[in-house]
Each structure stands twice: as C-alpha cells, then as structure tokens.
Chains A and B, each alone.
Chain A
Amino acid sequence: MPNHPRPVAGLIARPRRSALVAGLGAAVAACAPLGAPVPPPALGGYREPGRARQGGTYKPAIAAGPVTLHPYKHTDTPSRNQTDLLYAKGLWRHDPRSLDPIPNLAERWEVSADKLTYAWHLRQDIRWSDGKPLTSADWLWTFQQAANRVNSYPYVSTDIEPIAEVTAPEPYRLVVRLKEALVPGIEQANIPCPLPKHIWERYDWNDPAKNPEINAPTVVSGPFRLKEWRRDDHVIYEANDLYWRGRPLLDAIQYRIVPDQNVSFHMLKTGEVDLGSLQPSDFEEAKANPALRLYQWERPAPSWDYIAVNLRRPALQDVRVRRAIAYAVNREAISRVIYNNLSKPTYSVYPPSHWVYNPDVPMYDHDPRKAAAELEAAGWRLPAGAKVRVRDGQPLRLQLLYGPNVSKVREQISVIAQQALAEVGVEVTVRGMEWGAFLQAIRSEPFDYDLFVSSWLPEYDPHWNGELWMEKNIPALNRPGYVNKEVEELYQQGAREFDKEKRKRIYQEIQRLISTDLPFIFLVYNTNWAFLNKRLHVNEPGPLGIDYEIEKWWVEDGR
C-alpha cells in the first residue's frame, strides 16, 4: 500500500478475516498508486512473461461492498480499495521490493534542507478519463476541499493537520510545507489524491444527492472506470484507456458481494468467482484444489494479536506476574489451532518482517515452569491441594475481556489463555462483549478488567506505533495505562533521526524496553495469503502483496 497501510477496518465482524479479504483487497487497494518512472506495462505477468494477453474479466467475491466512492468520505476498507481503482493516488509510492519511496504521480521531488518543504514535480502525461490534463490545480483544489472544516474529512489529524501550506506555483509543480520536520514527513507531504476540479467544482462536495460524481463517477484517473454499481450485490469496472501507466490488460473487474464465507468458498471452487474470502480452516482444502493457485507474502507491518494488561491493578503492576502470563500463554497453540499455522509467534511491538525488528528482545516462549517460578517469586503461592494461587489471603483471579463477542478468533485466543493460566494456578474468567460495550469497558472508568484480547494493524513507518505508548493517549489508545518516559523520548528521537541505521537502533531499543515492561503480551502476527483461480496471472508476491500493479494482471482464457 502506498504510504499508509491502513488497517483493516471492519473489526466489527472479524478483524482477521478482513485482513485476508484484504489479501486481495489490500492488494487491489495497493494497486492504484503504483507506477513509476513508467514504461507501459511490460507484457506478461511475472510467472510467464510473453504470454500475457489483453481482454477478459477478473471476478472476485468480496464479503462487503463499498459504502461510498467518494475518496474523501470513507473510513472502511472496501470503499478505499475500490476508490483506489478509480483514482490514481500517491505522489510517490513504495518500491514493491525494497519499499523505498519511488516516483509515482510526481516524477521527482526536492526536499528543503530543513526537511519542511517538499517540492513535487508532477508528471505531465497524466490525463483524466475525459482527456483533460491532471495538473497541480486539481491537487490544490482537492486539498483545499479536504482541509475545509465544513467538509468533514475523516482523516484530518493524519492528512491535513501536519501540513502548513500547499501551493501550486506552476501547472506541474506542487509545493507542500509541513509544520514539523519528521522522518515520515514524506508520508505527511503526500496529499491523498486529486479529484477533477473542472468537473467537481460544479457540484456539492458532500451531498451525493446533489453530486452525481460521488457515487457514479464519470471522470477518473485510475486504472478502471465505474460501469455499474448495485449496492450489496455487485460492482463492475471497465478498463480506463487513458490510464497513465497504460490501459490495463484486463477489460473489466466484476466484484460480487457475497457476505457468507462458506458460499464464497464454494463459488471459488466452482469457478464462478476467481477469488473468495476464505477462513484459515479452508486453507488445506483450497490448497488441494487443482483449479486454484496459492499466493503467500508477509507484509512489512502485519497485524498482530495481543493480550493487554491493565496496569492499574495492583497484582498486575508487578512485572513478574506479567512475565508469568507471557510464559504461560502458548503462542504455537494459538497459531496452530486458530490460524492453521498462517500466523507466527511474535514477541515484540515490531514483528520479524519489519525492517526495525529486534531479534534480541526478551522472548517468553511457552514454559509453564518459568511462569510458576515467576509467580512464586512474586509471592503468589499455591496452597497444598488448591488450584488457585494465593498471596496475603487473596486468590489470583483475573478477568479477561474480548470484543466483539462475534469474533471467533478472539474468543478462541481467550480460551487458550484461560486454560494456559489455569495450569499455573491463575484463575481467569473470560467475558465476550459487544464491540461498543467492550470499548467502553476498556477505555473508561472504572477500568474494571485485568486483561483483554485485541489486535493491531500498524502502519508502515515505525513512528506511528508510538501512539500506543504515549501517556497523553491514556486511555483512548494507551489502554493499559503504560507510562515510560524513556520510551516516549526515544520515539521523539526516532521520528527526527534521518540516518536509517541510527534510526533502526532507536526502535530496537524501544522494542527491548517494551518487551521488558510487558504492558502487552505479544502473541502472533499474521501472514497474508490468497487463493486465486489459476486462469489469473497477478503481480509477483512481495511485501506489498500481489496487486500493486493491477494493470498488469491478465487472464489466461481471455474471458
């Protein structure tokens, strides 16, 4: 994904699933803003170059359709993925292999010595689908609309607030000045995407009843144009002949909205669709199916599951008790039982696929004896014949919450943790809660819980994870109530250290500190996988997935 690997929204139903749907989803998402100093797409996918052919329709099934096609109104993953097909996004993009910034809609850029000003030189060969050139006036006008308070853009704090000023001194030059010089400044200086000023300025920015371009756009800049959208049923796109990186090899994409995953899998098996939203338990069966091809990759910043510890509780303020919990939980079992080994154990706030990963953090592998020893040391003794440890006459009983209660994954993690802790003499009661009630319980007085299970989907730059540990974010984001001034100071340094090696060492130290303090018990991180019908040829799997250049996708049978 170009600059902000956004989380898989839809935590509502099943966070993990959506991540996988995003396997394609994220993928398709990623596709739009790619492009580079660009020769037109080399014919041929990575697998059998030279055989690629034009024509045909890619038919994926997705669990949820888009909510809106307004690129400045959505907060859900399906809408983002689909607007990525319609609108070219990203002044720069990540190199699909190294992940370093490379040119995209801007062919080059200059950064001022104070790292505050980014001067973007826009490509002059980009056209809207009506043939009009895409210029800095479109960028500037769109930014002004997004920045206008009355237009209610959801991502003001990440996309608008860091920017001091945007100017368009020339038709193909855009200058963005930031308020603060941070290493991830290049992300902040990247305006989400331009809209066609000459069309949109006639209409209302907010109201789909007064602006037909919002949900039935006719003038776009991405690889595909909208052909037909029936809500909760299907969305059809057709190739944009004027796409700046070359017309896609596919003629069309036809999304079917299929909410039930079992049905989705059957449609994949019968060949009715090319991609379905599968559950980890479907993995082996899909792998054995000769019509399907498996793609696997690891994102640089994958999502991970954790157990958070409420540091307001006296018993849990003792780090030995937290270490005991970390030793007691069996990550291998979580990975095997719940994820069919499609997730891997993690011990740090940055997982092994991340460039700042520190392999030397304390690792608390499953070891009930060490867990028991830590509890003994903390004064929690097991009376003869008893099952629950006691200190000063108080039994060690903990309450573990998870939400939303419809999440099978979180329920299973909770139960595995409950059993593991029972083995070392800690009695855990598990309580699943509806999402709204769950959030209220963990984020507001009286903080009546001991542990909770949740997951996190970080952004690519390591800086943003710091929000989880800042004292100012208690209790909204920093839910355990963790305070470590050294960690906060290091995050400040990390955001301002432009030397990549030195910067990496800062984040490694942060990982060591957090894994020592254990406000979270890190459990497993997700790997990505997708099954597609073999007739599809996609991009070579890499850290960005398989659809970072969707214009190069093609179908074998041309249908």
Chain B
Amino acid sequence: MTSYLVRRAIQSFFLLWLVSALFFTFQRLTPGGPQAYLVDPRLSEGDKERLAEDWGLHEPIHLQYFKWVSHVVRGDLGRSFQDRRPVTEKILERLPNTLYLSAASLFLGLLGIPLGVWAAVNRNRFPDHLVRLTTVVVNAVPDWWLGLMLLILTASYLKIFPLSGMYTIGQDSLPDRLWHLILPAVVGATNGLIAYARIIRSEMLETLGQDYVRTARSKGLRERTVLYRHALRNSLIPVATGIGPTITGLVGGSVVYERVFSWPGIGRLMYDAAIQRDYPVAMGLFFVFTILVILGLLISDVAYVVADPRVRLE
C-alpha cells in the first residue's frame, strides 16, 4: 500500500506539471487577451497595451510560465488582473460558501440510495414506477430552469423561501442561513439523487438475484439484514467509483445554481475569470481543481478496497 501511494504521488506530480503547462498554453492561445475585455471606449489602444504590459503579458509565454511555476512552488498563486488581490485570498473567501452548499447538496443527494433500494424491492410496482418516472422527468429538465421555477414558485408567489442570497443582510443567524440553504441545496442535490437512485436500483436488482442473497434468506435472516447488510453493500461499489469526482465537484461549485440563487461561490469566480481572461485566477482555480481530481481518484481507489475486500492496491 505504501509503495503504491509513493508511486501514485510521483505520477501525480508529473501529471500536474504536464496539465498545468498545457492549460497555461491553451489559455494564452485563445483569441483576445484580457485587454480585449476592457470595453470602455475611453480606453485607447495604447492604454490597453500598457495594461497588458503591466500584467506581464508582453513577455514570451514560456517565461511567463516559469515565473508562474516559481511562484507556485512558494505557495503563491499570483495576483488577479482585475483587482490585484492574491488569487489564494479570492479562492479562500468563496470556498466556505461553496463547500457549505455542496456538502448540503451531497448529503441530500445520498437520499437517492434508500430511494433506489425502495424501487428495487418493489420492482414493477407503484414505488418503482414512481421513482423511475420522477428520475426521468427531473433528469430531462435543465437544472437552472428547475431552480428558477422552484424559486419563483416558492419564493415569489408562495413566499415560503427567500429569493436570493446566503442570509438576510443584518440578520445573519443559523436558522436564517438554513432557511436560505434549502432551495439551492435541493436543486443542487437533484443530479446526485437521480444518479444514485438509478444506479442503486439496477445494482440491487442484480444482487438480489444472486445466490448468496438466496442463501442469506434461506438461513432465515431478517429481510432488513439481507437487504442492507448483504445486498446493498455489494451494490455500493459503483457509487464508490463516483465518490472521487463528487468530491471535486464539491469544491468546484456550479455557476448555474450560484447565478440563480445569487450565491457568492467558486463557480461564479471561475466563470468571471474565464470570461474576462483573468489568467491568474483561472489558472489558480484550475490548478487547485487538478490537485483535487487527482486526490479524488486516489480516494476512489482506496474506497474500492474498503467496499470490496477482494480488491488489492498493487
């Protein structure tokens, strides 16, 4: 296991290096540098070029990359072109907001697991039809639209939930925060919920037909024990595969929900940085995401071992 982890660490280091160099290059190859997004006609071409020079964009690209790397190894992701603040600071100030929302969404999404079990146990009966129909319909609806409709219905007409933001300005308390959290968390949970429900349903159907389940039943075990101790554990393996990417998604946030729910998170930061060509911020976020993806995949591999004792990491 230890030698496996060391090998993975070395691989990851080179992977990170390669990916960052590629992203850095591709980013610079897209037409129009950040100066193209200074759309104020009062700025002359000369002004824009001066700003580009101050941002270090007139240097050869490999030099810019080496500078970036030399800062990164010292833990410095550079400064935003937009407001000159450290990229790390910009990421860290939004990270808690995103984590808070995505953790709630993930938690709600896990409810898909019992839902899948429920559908599988009642195969071709009402609960199964209900779960299958709902997951297909909700899956077909774009998230942002679902979010917007829920928001308008429950917040604007029924006035049950607030229309925007993480909390009421001036009344920032725990109940108030939870009240603001419900809608975005529910919308954020739908993808996971649907995926888990469907995966678990089909996996359960397969496992329930296995010999060992029949054996368990014939031993006279309670149905509950058979379902959750014997069948479900084996059906969870595909879910474990999905855990790594899910963790990355937790941090990445989503510009879609964050826009609709006026949520000041990482997704909007990434979107704005990409749209305005704020290279240091985009690069910083990309770098952090890459590390998380690599970590996430590692966690997935380790999770396999836990879920399935037959798997060994070599």
Q: Which residues of A approach B to under 8 Å, CB–CB?
A: 4, 6-7, 9-13, 15, 67-68, 73, 75, 152, 154-158, 206-209, 215, 230-234, 236, 254, 256-260, 262-263, 266-267, 269-270, 272, 434-437, 439-440, 456-459, 467, 476-477
Contact = CB atoms under 8 A, between A and B. Distances in A.
A266 B155 contact: yes
Given A155-B43, A260-B260, A73 B268 contact: no
Across the A-B interface, give the 7 residue pairs with the lowest CB-CB distance, nearest first: A436-B32, A232-B264, A11-B39, A157-B44, A440-B31, A266-B156, A68-B83
Contacts, number: 141
B32 A435 contact: yes
B27 to A, nearest CB: 11
Given A234-B169, A270-B163, A459-B42, A208 B84 contact: yes
Contacts of B178: none
Interface in B141-158: 148, 151-152, 155-156
Interface stretch (B16-24, B47-55, B197-205): B47-55
Interface in B164-203: 164-166, 169
Contact of B262 (A208, A231, A233): A233
A262 B151 CA distance: 10
Interface residues of B, number: 48
A7 B40 contact: yes
Contacts of B155: 266, 270
A303 to B, nearest CB: 10
Given A152-B50, A256-B164, A440 B32 contact: yes
Contact of A457 (B41, B45, B82): B41
- Interface of A, helix, strand, loop or mixed by DSSP: loop
B40 A75 contact: yes
Nearest to A266: B156
B31 A272 contact: no
A232 B94 contact: yes
B275 interface: yes
B47 A154 contact: yes
B169 A262 contact: no
A354 B14 CA distance: 62
Contacts of A209: 85-86, 89
B45 A437 contact: no
Contacts of B165: 233-234, 256
B160 interface: no
A275 to B, nearest CB: 14
A67 B93 CA distance: 15
Nearest to B155: A266
A440 B29 CA distance: 12
A153 to B, nearest CB: 9
Given A155-B42, A158-B44, A12 B275 contact: yes
A232 B30 CA distance: 27
Contacts of B12: none
Interface in B262-288: 262, 264, 268-269, 275-277
Contacts of A9: 38-40
Nearest to B54: A152
A437 B41 CA distance: 19
Nearest to B265: A232
A154 B38 contact: yes
A391 to B, nearest CB: 34
Contacts of A154: 38, 43, 47, 51
27 contacts: A6-B42, A12-B276, A13-B275, A152-B50, A156-B47, A158-B42, A232-B94, A234-B169, A257-B262, A258-B164, A259-B262, A260-B259, A263-B148, A263-B163, A266-B151, A266-B155, A266-B156, A266-B163, A270-B155, A270-B156, A272-B163, A436-B32, A439-B36, A440-B31, A456-B41, A459-B42, A467-B41
